[in-house]
A and B are shown apart, each in its own frame.
Chain A
Amino acid sequence: MLVNEKIAIEHGLKSDEYKKICQLLKRTPNITELGIFSAMWNEHCSYKSSRKHLKNLHTQGKRVIQGPGENAGVIDVDDEDAIVFKIESHNHPSFIEPYQGAATGVGGIMRDVFTMGARPIANLNSIHFGSTQHKKTKNLLRGVVKGIGGYGNCIGVPTIGGQTCFDESYNGNILVNAMTLGLVNKKKIFYSKAAGIGKPVIYVGSKTGRDGIHGASMASAVFDDKIEEKKPTVQVGDPFTEKLLLEACLELMADDSIISIQDMGAAGLTSSSIEMASKGKLGIELDLSKVPCREEKMTPYEIMLSESQERMLIVLENGKEENAKKIFDKWDLDFAVIGKTTTSKKIELYFDSKKVADIPIDFLAEDAPEYDRKWKKTKLPQKIKFKKENFKSLKINNCLIKLLSNPNICEKKWIWNQYDHTVMGDTIQKPGGDAGVVRIHGTEKAVAASVDSSATYCFAHPLTGGKQVVCESWRNLISVGAEPIAITNCLNFGNPEKEKNMGEFVECVQGISEACKYLDFPVVSGNVSFYNETKDKGIKPTPSIGGVGLLKNYKNILTMDLKNEGNVILAIGKTEGHIDQSVFARSILNEKKGPPPEINLFNEKNNGSTVMKLMKEKLILSCRDVSLGGILIAIAKMCIKGKKGVKLNKLKSLINKFEFFFSEDQGRYIIEVSKKNLKKVENILKENSVHFDNLGEVQKDNYINIDSEKISVDELSKHNKNWLMEYMAQ
């Protein structure tokens, strides 16, 4: 087939991008070459709209072993141990085919982690769906949850946490972000950079089929009416093969035969081979006739662009082929030597002894387009002046019930009961806590992980929202007793060619960066998903932050369930009564405008560090951070989990009780402290200039007492637990 501009545009390239390709090559590319360019130059692989801004992220830290740019980030967790982790989006495919889309998202992120030599030890996810009233939501939710479970359960990696949100902005574009943590010996980390000349390039794993061709290009475009036609671009996963691939790779990694290894994810063989060569500043030569194919008569074009799952590309030391093959034979996986590294700094492809592509690697990687797209700042919205009448007819009890059964606050047991969260025998904190916690196998240490997003805040003011998500993640880790270490981010946004969307991206990234720097909480990996837009309607800006922290001894884990009657409940951090953009304002007062709560990074850090100090002194008995719904929702959840009640003191605050209890001011925690230790705790808080309020006492009877109102915890628990189950059963 002769290539022309029209065909290039059908491949998602812009007219001037095509011209640049012809200029670089000094000729017209053939169809295979065009396919390769389109795969490498699309947004998903090239980060052409985001690269400029991602450079500003804070990526350094004393525990960082590997920052962004590899298959995943790596952090030091003492002794010989390191944690490899990353979050990645699989949004577009999951909307088209929820089960396979979500399943292969999980499969892909796990491969990114075990490619580096780490055994996956925990999965998490952040999933966003349209309004609960939207006709597609229920099926999409059901399919995505089944897909995530179907893949993770089969491999035998526990899914220990996650986040589920509903908002009408996702009606036409759901988000499926999957995160994996793996454990590796610090000295046995594998990287994707190829080295050495004439080294064999090995293909292992499943056979290549026609599935997923142009998957990465699809993820780089907006949806229109014809999305059903894109079903064939969704890959089909086989977790069983991935389990075999995982075991085989880890077995091969036990000795030193691997020089570099890269999973075939987005843009399959194309991006994996080019990335290896590019990082090693080498050339690569492949004979595509040797690639194991599942279907007949596959063309070089199809082989290079297939996104069939469960495949890896390995550069081996010479002479190690036979031993490596034995391992893959044992696990019943394909193994083929398909090429070698060269000095040419080109990718040279052969098929049936004919040369079918010849492109300098730099053209595909370093010379890929980079855009400085125009963007618009979002002004901080005016604060809403709430009047007395707004609160007049409200009752705390009714508000509590309404908020606890809000789709974004209610318990998500329906979801996580479908995920195996206990396999591998190290899960200390199951889903449903502030963060999931898994023990580092065979040690006293444990890692905590959580995933957070707050699109509502990011939409109202991206800069504040970006900071807030990082802070929320930091707080969630502290709340289970962990020292926060680093984050991975999945940046889900609309169409970057629109100034507003691009502005949301730029300012969220700026906010993330500021908070990360201040909290010494660096970004070590992540991905960007643009074009989450259907028929001109984009999603709210949704950066998902996956945070990871360390517990030196898992026995010191903190949980949120209230422990004993008579203990005192303190709110750490100042409650200003900011209800704009809170769930309370949005769902009870029906007010959707206003600025998000302000982030004061000094207070955030000071409050968090002081809470950590109290923990080290073993002064905290239970803990929860204050997030959606405010103080009273946090307390209600602590009551529900602990099957206890509380008697709350009369408020001394200047703001009204609704503002006090339901505002979403940041940097706050609720802690339970024994009376015996109260003085000591108060002194430490005062010494560190941390504001706190003594809220009341834990009591045995199962009620929340506020003034004259007596609210049954059992009743609240029922509403909190039942909402999602009833919704899904309808």
Chain B
Amino acid sequence: MKSAVIIFPGSNCDRDMDVALKKFGFKNEMVWHDDEQLPKSDLIVLPGGFSYGDYLRCGSIAGKSKIIKSVIDFAAKGGLVLGICNGFQILTETGLLPGVLQQNKNIEFICKNVFVKVNNKNNKYFNSIDKDVLELHIAHNEGNYFCTNDELKMLKDNNLIAVSYCNEKGEVNEKSNPNGALQNIAGIFNKEKNILGMMPHPERMIDKYLSGEDGSIFFKNLINNIK
């Protein structure tokens, strides 16, 4: 299975994503933001970081970069596009996903493990994952998801809220919301569910000696579903 990770100036989780994808069997290639063409891939990843310094708004300049046109085309043809953290922010800026990511409610950067509830398994990303609750890691300053009432209704009606912040038992409540995100939204799909944007970093949870291994479950499952 082939994947490609796009490097924007200021991306800083590109290497981590490369390591994770390769660990679980992807043949991964790195793509520079200034390129026009994507390599032939089964999965495109927009990694975390501070693309273009996150100046103006997080992800906004990256959303206008040269390579993005090809990403939009790729997605339109049903290709899998995964945006993690800054990648999620970029996806909302391009309009591939609805809503915005605002500054965390406590106006502080947050770096810690969180639990997320998997709401929809009928897609390539979470299909056949046994667990309903995953322990992942967040590290962001702008992860506070927000969208209009219409957009929220659309997300809910179509079951597109991919993952929600919850506690260890899977209860989604205010206490388990780290950043003030609307309805604890941690990640969403587009209508076709080939695009997933989420704030938590699965690539930081692939080793029991590090933060944990629920990220491994995510990647193992993903590659199996693509095969």
Contact = CB atoms under 8 A, between A and B. Distances in A.
Interface of A: 146, 149-150, 153-156, 238-241, 243-244, 330-332, 416-428, 439, 554-555, 557
Given A332-B9, A422-B139, 19 more contacts: A149-B109, A153-B139, A153-B141, A238-B53, A240-B9, A240-B50, A240-B52, A241-B53, A243-B10, A331-B9, A418-B109, A419-B109, A419-B111, A420-B109, A421-B111, A422-B204, A423-B12, A425-B207, A554-B209
A330 to B, nearest CB: 8
A238 B50 CA distance: 12
A54 B222 CA distance: 57
B139 A154 contact: no
B178 to A, nearest CB: 10
Contacts of A421: 111
Contacts of B203: 425
Interface of B: 9-10, 12-13, 15-16, 19-20, 34, 48-50, 52-55, 108-112, 137, 139, 141, 201, 203-204, 206-207, 209-211
B42 to A, nearest CB: 23
Contacts of A240: 9-10, 50, 52-55
Given A238-B53, A243-B12, A153 B109 contact: yes
A239 B211 contact: no
A244 B109 contact: no
Nearest to B206: A425
29 contacts: A146-B109, A149-B109, A153-B139, A153-B141, A154-B12, A154-B50, A156-B12, A156-B49, A239-B53, A240-B53, A240-B54, A241-B53, A243-B9, A416-B111, A417-B109, A421-B111, A422-B111, A422-B210, A423-B13, A424-B15, A424-B16, A425-B15, A425-B19, A425-B20, A425-B204, A425-B207, A425-B210, A428-B210, A554-B209
A426 B53 contact: no
Contacts of B15: 424-425
B109 A423 contact: no
Greatest chain A CB density within 10 A among B13, B20, B108, B203 is at B108
A150 B108 CA distance: 10
Interface centre among B109, B137, B201, B206 (most CB of A within 10 A): B109
B10 A426 contact: no
Contacts of A155: 12
Contacts of A423: 12-13, 16, 48, 139, 204
Nearest to A241: B53
Contacts of A555: 209
A418 B10 contact: no
A187 to B, nearest CB: 22
Nearest to B141: A153
A424 B110 CA distance: 17
A139 to B, nearest CB: 14
A418 B110 contact: yes
Contacts of A427: 210-211
Contacts of A418: 108-111
Contacts of B10: 154, 240, 243-244
Nearest to B107: A146
Contact of B209 (A156, A417, A428): A428
B50 A243 contact: yes
B33 to A, nearest CB: 11
A154 B137 contact: no
6 closest cross-chain pairs (CB), A and B: A156-B12, A240-B53, A425-B16, A420-B139, A154-B50, A418-B109
A441 to B, nearest CB: 8
A427 B48 CA distance: 17
A154 B53 CA distance: 8
A332 B10 CA distance: 12
A417 B111 contact: yes
B86 to A, nearest CB: 11
B118 to A, nearest CB: 22
Contacts of B12: 154-156, 243, 423
A426 B210 contact: yes
A420 B111 contact: yes
Nearest to B52: A240
A424 to B, nearest CB: 6
Nearest to B34: A330
Contacts of B112: 417
Nearest to A145: B108
A417 B210 contact: no
A613 B19 CA distance: 35
A146 B106 CA distance: 13
Contacts of B48: 423
Nearest to B111: A420
Contacts of A330: 34
Contacts of A244: 9-10
